[in-house]
Amino acid sequence: MIQVLSQPWPWYVAGPLIGLTVPTLLLLGNKAFGISSSLRHICAACVPANIDFFRYDWRKESWNLWFVGGIAIGGLIGNQLLTNPAALTIAPATQEALQQLGVHDFSSGLLPLDLFGWASMTVGKALVFLVLGGFLVGFGTRYAGGCTSGHAIMGLSNLQWPSLIATVCFMIGGFAMTHLGLPFLMRLAGL
């Protein structure tokens, strides 16, 4: 069983399992799936401020905090017990495209060490990739009224027009960052 769990699952198994979270949450009390709202709940619980955005009964949404905590614990358990010993296979075309941008070290698996290794982190690179990137993700999530998982999984399954618009914009933004923003940021970071 551990061997089955530690292997990458095909899209036709993992996709429906992720998709089944929507009807499960709806059946378990009309709960909406999304991750970004949990940060709001944490801030409302831990930082009692007189800010309208954080003045609500966050306890009604405490299930979401348990859900996010389960994701974190599951990630830790999966990393320790279910790691796949096989080398990660990256398509040759993807490796070539990344090498043209200055990314050469794929030995760590999913994250190239040229970009995300602590040894390669300069102050400028950390500011660009971590601080500015984190701000943009947070701003975009708040501006769009939710994160990609909330809109693309929950919103689209409920046939919500704003979620369709947000998901299309997420995709366009992802393509633009991949082909325009990432090369610019790589030059800016000195890679």
| Residue 107 confidence class, pLDDT cut points 50, 70, 90 | low
User: According to the model, what pLDDT value does residue 120 have?
Assistant: 65
Percent with pLDDT over 90 in the chain: 7
Cα–Cα–Cα angle for 143, 64, 139, nearest 5°?
15
Percent with pLDDT over 70 in the chain: 86
Whether 52 has a pLDDT exceeding 60, the answer reads yes
Kindly provide the b/e burial profile for residues 91-114, where b requires at least 16 CB atoms within 10 angstroms of the residue's own CB: eeeeeeebeebebeebeeeeebbb
- CA dist 73 and 184 (Å) reads 35
- CA dist 164 and 131 (Å) reads 28
Q: How many CB atoms lie within 10 A of CB 38?
A: 20
- CA dist 17 and 10 (Å) reads 11
Closest by CA position to 64, among listed 43, 36, 44? 36
- CA dist 165 and 156 (Å) reads 10
Residue spans of the domains in the chain: they are 1-86
Pick the residue with more confidence: 186 or 23?
A: 23
Kindly provide the b/e burial profile for residues 47-72, where b requires at least 16 CB atoms within 10 angstroms of the residue's own CB: eeeeeeebeeebeebeebbebbeeee
Please write the tens of the pLDDT for every residue from 74-101. 989 888 888 777 766 778 888 888 777 7
Pick the residue with more confidence: 19 or 164?
A: 164
| Residue 116 confidence class, pLDDT cut points 50, 70, 90 | low
Pick the residue with more confidence: 50 or 71?
A: 71
User: According to the model, what pLDDT value does residue 60 have?
Assistant: 85
User: According to the model, what pLDDT value does residue 12 have?
Assistant: 93
Q: Which amino acid is at 51?
A: I
pTM listed for this prediction = 0.66
